[in-house]
C-alpha cells in the first residue's frame, strides 16, 4: 500500500511539473501585457510631456529622449555658477559697472529659469524606490544655487583644506573601500544562486533553484518539492 501511494504521489508531482511550464508561460504573458499597457499609457522618461507637445513639439520634437534634459542640466549648472560668481565677485573683485553687472544678472537668471522650465516640461523618472525631493526640478535647482553661492564666499584657506580632505577621501575610497565593500560582497554572493517558489495548479509548493553560470554555459534548474513523499516501509 505504501509503495502504491508513493507511486501515485510521484505521478501527481510529475503532472504538476508538466503544468509548471504552462503556469509560468501564462504569468509571463500577463507581465508582458501589463508592460505593454504601461508603455502605451505613460511616456518614457526624458520625453516631452503631452500638454506641452502643441507648443514645444515643433522645436524639441526631433530630439532624442533625455537629450534636451541633459543639455538643460549643463546650462543650469553653468548659469548657476556664473550667476553666483557675479553676485559674489562682481562689485568687489571685478569692479563691474552698474549696467554690465545688471545685464549679467538678468542674462544668467533667465538662462537658469529657462533651464528649469525645460527640465520640468519633460517626463520625470517614475520608479521611486527611494526618497525623492518634491517639486523637481525647482527645489533641487534652487538648492544648488544656494550651495554654490555659499561655497564661493569661503576663504581661499578653506578651499585648500577642502581640496586636501577630498583628495584624501577619494584616495582611501578607491584604494581600499571600493575593494572591501560589504555591500559589494553581498551582491556578489547573491548572484551565485537564485531561488524562487512556484505554486503549481494542484496547490503544492515547489522551490526552483537556478545556478548562475558564466556566458556560454547552459543554466541548470533543479526542482524539488518542499514536502518529501513518505518513505516506503
pTM above 0.85, yes or no: no
**Residue 9 to residue 223: CA distance in whole angstroms:** 16
Instruction: Give the model's pLDDT for residue 100.
Output: 93
Instruction: Give the model's pLDDT for residue 149.
Output: 95
Instruction: Give the model's pLDDT for residue 11.
Output: 56
Cβ-Cβ contacts under 8 Å for 42 (sequence gap 6 or more):
123, 126
**Residue 28 to residue 20: CA distance in whole angstroms:** 12
Instruction: Give the model's pLDDT for residue 95.
Output: 86
**Measured in whole angstroms, how far is the alpha carbon of residue 119 from the centre of its chain?**
17
- Cβ atoms of 189 and 181 closer than 8 Å: no
Instruction: Give the model's pLDDT for residue 124.
Output: 86
Domain boundaries defined on the chain: 2-42+192-225, 62-125+133-185
Instruction: Give the model's pLDDT for residue 217.
Output: 47
Q: What is the mean pLDDT of each run of 10 residues along the chain (233 residues)?
A: 51 50 48 50 80 87 89 96 94 88 96 96 78 88 95 94 96 89 70 51 51 48 48 46
Strand order in the sheet with 221-225: 193-199, 205-211, 221-225
Nearest to 44 by CA among 10, 81, 69: 69
For 61, phi then psi, to 5°, come to -70, -30
- Cβ atoms of 177 and 198 closer than 8 Å: no
Instruction: Give the model's pLDDT for residue 93.
Output: 84
**Residue 15 to residue 9: CA distance in whole angstroms:** 10
> Which H helix or E strand runs over 230?
none
Question: How many Å from the N-terminal Cα to the C-terminal Cα in the chain?
Answer: 10
Nearest to 24 by CA among 166, 173, 199: 199
Cβ-Cβ contacts under 8 Å for 225 (sequence gap 6 or more):
13, 204, 205, 206, 207
| Residue for grid cell 508592460 | 35
Amino acid at each position: 500500500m505504501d509503495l502504491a501511494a508513493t507511486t501515485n504521489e510521484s505521478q501527481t508531482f510529475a503532472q504538476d511539473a508538466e503544468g509548471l511550464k504552462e503556469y509560468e508561460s501564462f504569468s509571463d504573458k500577463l507581465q508582458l501585457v501589463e508592460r505593454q499597457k504601461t508603455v502605451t499609457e505613460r511616456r518614457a522618461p526624458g520625453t516631452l510631456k503631452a500638454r506641452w507637445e502643441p507648443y514645444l513639439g515643433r522645436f524639441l520634437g526631433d530630439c532624442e529622449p533625455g537629450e534636451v534634459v541633459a543639455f538643460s542640466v549643463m546650462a543650469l549648472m553653468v548659469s548657476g555658477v556664473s550667476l553666483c560668481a557675479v553676485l559674489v565677485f562682481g562689485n568687489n573683485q571685478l569692479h563691474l559697472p552698474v549696467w554690465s553687472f545688471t545685464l549679467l544678472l538678468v542674462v544668467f537668471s533667465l538662462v537658469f529659469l529657462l533651464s528649469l522650465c525645460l527640465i520640468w516640461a519633460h517626463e520625470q523618472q517614475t520608479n521611486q524606490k527611494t526618497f525623492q525631493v518634491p517639486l523637481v526640478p525647482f527645489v533641487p535647482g534652487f538648492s544648488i544655487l544656494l550651495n554654490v553661492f555659499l561655497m564661493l564666499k569661503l576663504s581661499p584657506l578653506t578651499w585648500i583644506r577642502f581640496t586636501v580632505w577630498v583628495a584624501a577621501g577619494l584616495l582611501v575610497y578607491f584604494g581600499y573601500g571600493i575593494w572591501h565593500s560589504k555591500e559589494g560582497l553581498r551582491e556578489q554572493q547573491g548572484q551565485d544562486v537564485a531561488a524562487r517558489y512556484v505554486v503549481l495548479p494542484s496547490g503544492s509548493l515547489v522551490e526552483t533553484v537556478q545556478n548562475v553560470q558564466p556566458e556560454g554555459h547552459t543554466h541548470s534548474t533543479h526542482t524539488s518539492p518542499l514536502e518529501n513523499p513518505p518513505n516506503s516501509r
